[in-house]
Structure 1
Amino acid sequence: MYSIVVTTILNKSDAVHISELLISERAAASVQMVNVSSVFRWKGEVHRRDEIQMLIKCKQRDYKLIEQLIADNHPYETPEIIQLNINNGLGTYLDWIKEVTSP
């Protein structure tokens, strides 16, 4: 019923913009932004980059809306956007996610 959507983005200003959009649209209850160092292969080359990882707490059913909002506002050609389902969690926390996101 609930999930965490993960994406990474190059800079804090873009992360804040997308976070505020997700919250204002009531697609997400909260977004945590964490500095990470990434190593990945892109178009045949290995890249190393400091990025911001966004952990987006939401209802599972809102994934497509979140995916679209991120994709429409993300500067990467192919952004990481993945959904991790929450199997268990503190009941009052999960109730809060339900309360602050769209009905």
Structure 2
Amino acid sequence: MADVVPVTVRLPERVWGRLATVAENEGTTVPELIADAIKGRVAPLMEQSAPASKVTKARVVELVAAGIDDGAISRDLNLTRRQVAEIRRRAGLRANKTKGNN
């Protein structure tokens, strides 16, 4: 198991009771349930803020050159629109129009 940092969390008794019931039904513990909830909420944010790899940057440039708009690229590559726009701008490319806005 990875390093564990002990954290004290104060919860109303009724919330703890609900979490205990869910944890029991899922065959896990309340701390594991809370950790999983945090991971599910925070992991996507961490991925979005991570720098794009060279392969990802090359793929963004390739898709922009193919006429795909930033929104579609961000969805396809699981990036934020801001990340796509930044990669595109640094590559000296202009944004493509979104379909339907021509």
* TM-score computed with the length of structure 1 as normaliser: 0.24
Query: Which has a greater percent of strand?
Result: 1
Q: Which has the higher contact order (CA 8 A, sep 6+)?
A: 1
Structure 2 length as normaliser, TM-score? 0.24
